[in-house]
A and B are shown apart, each in its own frame.
Chain A
Amino acid sequence: MFKPSNHLLNKEIKEKKFKNLLSSITFFLFLPALIIIFWLFVKGHSALSWDFLLMDPIEGMTAGGIFPTIIGTFWLVVISVLVACPMGVIAAIYLSEYAKDNKLTRIIRLAILNLAGVPSIVHALFGLGAFVLFMKMGTSILAASLTLAVMNLPVIITSTLESLKAVPQSYREASWNVGASKLQTIRHIVLPNSLPGILTGVVFSVGRSAGETAAILFTGVAFYLPFLPKSVFDQCMALSMHLFTISTQVVGVPDAFPYATALVLILLILSVNSIAVALRSYFRMKRKW
């Protein structure tokens, strides 16, 4: 009884074509990611063993393992998160709970945006100028971690801000109305309700700093160290830097070594990120609003 006209049919065909085009573009964009992982695994799995993970690099990094680089990356990430996390959360609390809609707030937002957009090598220059030379920390784990912390600060602020804003305003109003002060409300209502979201952001930033290379290049990471760092004022090796070194600077490295190192780095970051993703979905399930 009602037949679509030719015009409508054409439109439908066109739409289908359009949709197929877009979906195939999207699919093929994500294909590389999967290919990369697969290919790293194929090439690198032969070198991957407990020895590789737990031994020092020996013979000019052409043999042995990557143990010190894992330890180094661990220290860098932990210290940078310990520094960036409180600062970021405090700044986010200010922006979400205290800041009025004025010029200062606008400037703070611009500062965060620019801090997030500054190239990592410029962060490295800053770290070198400020921490290594000016504060006389020398090239050390501390200086490198602080540089990483500055890099991560805008990321943590943005994600924390988002989860603070997600707490419904009515929660705060209810708390104020029973006589709680602003700070009490933040401490007992806002923070507990946004904690999972904050954690998710922090865990993501852990993954990000584990892979960062440029920012730690001149501030605290050595190409090769025959010993493990004893204090935060020592230099250390890092997984990401090690991958750079053995894939471009050192000759005679067994073929599988850089692949295995890249694989370890990616798997490390992926597992950290999966924790964040799991946290987030758990949080969404349990959310009260």
Chain B
Amino acid sequence: MEIKVTESAPLAMEWRQKKKEKPVSEKIIEGMIKTGGVSCIVLIAAILFFILKESYPFLVGAFNFKEFFFSEEWYPASVVKIRYGILALLTGTVLVTVISMLIAVPLGLACAFYISEFCSPKVREIYKILIEFLAAIPSVVWGFIAIMMINPTIIQLFDVPIGLNILNASIILALMSLPLIISVGEDALRAVPETYREAAEALGATKWEVATRILLPAAKNGLMAAALLGVGRALGETMAVLMATGHSIQIPNSIFEPGRTLTATIAAELGESPKGGEHYQALFAIGLVLFCLSFVVNLTADYLIRGRRQ
């Protein structure tokens, strides 16, 4: 709110001068608020800094780019020859993420379409509460469900010896990322102006036609962002995949074989590795890889959402 001050308005001028002088206490508090505003930047930089700091000796020492990324041999405690290859772990992470998204994205977006376009406001409220409920189930409980409920089901259904495998982890991850995909997808659909729908319906389009021909193209970026945020969630999930993947370091040949992910490896081995040792530093290096992966996924999702708004 700018007030135009002219020469003929001395009173207003005086008032404005007065307004500019803030009491000291107010200045201090405003200073604090401004400092608080950048706290997130400081924190994200601190996360990067401390992970780099802890993994630095490994990165300049035993780290071998080719072995680290392209060898599937992860033998950090081997007596003969210690090897740090994360290919098998990376494959595990990518596999469970991709398969879980193949399940969750189509279902989640279908669900988002239904909740945003088809159901009555009352049903929508119920579903929203259910989504919040689903999102609130902690990952360790999901892991427990994977062991106790999905494990025997997979053994029975597919007649395989172990039910703790890539498929199990993917199902759990799909269930875990659904709430996020649904709510972000629904937001994207609701952001499409009502006039678009009205215009299409006035031309005689059915809801199905509105959904596929109008909403889908208009909300494309937002829906893609929803899928990407789901990917980010699946990528970083730790406890549930630790419990569900079956914990064996290998590149799985089928979805019925156990595997292991980057996150699970850190969670499982950090407690056992001596602090400051090479193994310990290598685990921080894995953390660095995870940080970068999630960074890229989140930035892309943000770019897509912003693209929609512009």
Contacts of A119 in B (CB 8 A): 235-238, 263, 290-291, 294
Bitwise interface map of B from 36 to 49 toward A, beta carbon under 8 Å scored 1, else 0: 11111101101100
A120 to B262, CA, bound (A): 12
Task: Kindly state whether residue A111 has any CB partner on chain B within 8 Å.
Answer: yes
Q: Verify A111–B41 contact, CB threshold 8 A.
A: yes
A21 to B212, CA, bound (A): 15
Task: Kindly state whether residue A269 has any CB partner on chain B within 8 Å.
Answer: yes
A243 to B37, CA, bound (A): 37
Task: Kindly state whether residue B138 has any CB partner on chain A within 8 Å.
Answer: yes
Task: Kindly state whether residue B65 has any CB partner on chain A within 8 Å.
Answer: no
A89 to B119, CA, bound (A): 35
Q: Verify A22–B39 contact, CB threshold 8 A.
A: no
Q: Verify A240–B53 contact, CB threshold 8 A.
A: no
Known: A125-B284, A181-B26. A115 touches B130 (CB 8 A): no
Bitwise interface map of B from 205 to 227 toward A, beta carbon under 8 Å scored 1, else 0: 01111010000000000000000
Q: Tell me the residues in window 109-131 of chain B with beta carbons closer than 8 Å to chain A beta carbons.
A: 110-111, 113-115, 118-119, 127, 129-130
Query: Which of A123, A126, A207 has the most chain B CB atoms closer than 10 A to its own CB?
Result: A126
Q: Verify A117–B287 contact, CB threshold 8 A.
A: no
Query: Which of these binds chain A: B71-79, B139-147, B155-163, B252-260?
Result: B139-147
Residue of B nearest to A183 (CB): B26
Known: A19-B118, A26-B114, A98-B34. A114 touches B44 (CB 8 A): yes
Task: Kindly state whether residue B295 has any CB partner on chain A within 8 Å.
Answer: yes
Main secondary structure of the interface of B (DSSP, over half): helix
Q: Verify B43–A23 contact, CB threshold 8 A.
A: no
A130 to B47, CA, bound (A): 8
Task: Kindly state whether residue B70 has any CB partner on chain A within 8 Å.
Answer: no
Residue of A nearest to B212 (CB): A18
A154 to B38, CA, bound (A): 12
Residue of B nearest to A125 (CB): B287
Q: Verify A94–B144 contact, CB threshold 8 A.
A: no
A130 to B48, CA, bound (A): 11
Task: Kindly state whether residue A283 has any CB partner on chain B within 8 Å.
Answer: no
A217 to B283, CA, bound (A): 15
Q: Verify B43–A150 contact, CB threshold 8 A.
A: yes
Q: Out of A25, A26, A129, A181, name the residue touching B19 (CB < 8 Å).
A: A181
Q: Verify B144–A14 contact, CB threshold 8 A.
A: no
Q: Verify B40–A153 contact, CB threshold 8 A.
A: yes
Q: Out of A14, A91, A262, name the residue touching B39 (CB < 8 Å).
A: A91
Query: Which of these binds chain A: B83-91, B192-200, B266-274?
Result: B266-274
A150 to B208, CA, bound (A): 44
Q: A14-B206, A110-B302, A119-B291 are in contact. List 8 more A-B contacts (CB 8 A).
A: A26-B111, A110-B299, A125-B283, A181-B19, A181-B26, A243-B140, A259-B148, A269-B136
6 closest cross-chain pairs (CB), A and B? A211-B138, A119-B236, A94-B37, A90-B36, A129-B50, A22-B114
